[in-house]
Chain A
């Protein structure tokens, strides 16, 4: 669903088109269809839909993409602040939280 959009202009997603070989991988792994291939090069089409999951970064063999990935979760961030660590979720056993 592309209806739910979060805040604008906050995500850390960067694409270096010079390195891109048009392999399509980022368009396959992105759960929010952020990328499209235009003229054999990836283009960030819907930046604000990016949830910083890091899948594109991890699967781009040319290292053309970078994003600071993490879980966008308030509880996780509070956890991180309390423990002085990076935002981390503390849901060891139950399956639904992140």
Chain B
């Protein structure tokens, strides 16, 4: 298999090791955008194993990472100008953090790679630099016991590698902390949106269809006029829960994501009401508040999976009360909405 990031090969005492480039090709950049937007569920993987950056020797550091190509790209870019080894674990194309949680980026895989590759013949030192987020899956003392290699936890972000090295292989508090700034949250929004893409079309389509209902039977004109309005309202609910809530996360009151989403949903519904988008009768207006609130709340709660500060116990506690309420108010909203069809005109 030939990949454009492999530029040659380096012979070592334990066999040939492919040498990789630290620059990104146009393809790498295009694929990065594609993956961020989750266009096509392709796997974006690198062959696990050992790679060389520059001209590493038996005293060069070994950087361990996953075989998700985006991560690999960031790591090799960060290593530019540094003669080093890159040890790729087989995480099935998943990033370090998620793979460590699942255990694929873990003690067993690391030990078996180090042993199989005869790493102790390639380098004379006994150090492995593992990204700190991998610690969830890697037990440093077990690796040491079984391979003799000491695990040194490196920075969370690949971009900090060079500073970490200059710092005598000590990560500062900043390098060790997981941040979750606006920009990071915004990067996740396209992924969130693309997960819901089927519903994004299906549900509004259903609403357009149902909008034609009235007490005299069915009217295509109504379906059109009210249907598009309904579809628009739903889109607003999606955006409230999937985009606005994540983006404004720290500034929205409440700790519970469900409440944050509900609040944003209701603010959006209020705006729609003021724009005369929630229908004429109060029944339909109330139904929109319920539907938009429930939907936005549910979608916001789902964002907990993408954050870096929510605990399992916390989310479970939140869901226990939130989920039934969300389902109930959204269902009530749908019922009221259908009823309102027969009250009007």
Interface residues of A (CB under 8 A from B): 1-8, 10-12, 25, 28-33, 49-55, 58-59, 61, 68-78, 87, 89, 91-98
Contact = CB atoms under 8 A, between A and B. Distances in A.
**What interface size band does chain B fall in?**
35 or more
A61 B133 CA distance: 18
Nearest to A72: B310
B242 to A, nearest CB: 13
A29 B177 contact: no
A95 B95 contact: yes
B41 A49 contact: no
B250 A4 contact: yes
A4 B303 CA distance: 14
A78 B305 CA distance: 11
A31 B176 contact: yes
Interface stretch (B54-62, B137-145, B333-341): B137-145
16 contacts: A4-B307, A6-B314, A10-B314, A12-B313, A31-B177, A32-B309, A51-B308, A51-B310, A59-B140, A73-B304, A74-B301, A74-B302, A93-B41, A93-B42, A94-B38, A98-B98
Contacts, number: 167
Contact of B153 (A28, A95, A96): A28
B305 A74 contact: yes
Interface string B38-58: 100111100000000000000
B93 A95 contact: yes
B318 interface: yes
Given A1-B180, A96-B188, A74 B101 contact: no
B35 A95 contact: yes
Contacts of B319: 74, 77-78
B311 A31 contact: no
A29 B140 CA distance: 10
Contacts of A50: 311
A55 B132 CA distance: 9
B255 A95 contact: no
Contacts of A98: 97-98, 101, 305-306
Interface string B279-312: 0000000000000000000000110111111111
A11 B312 CA distance: 8
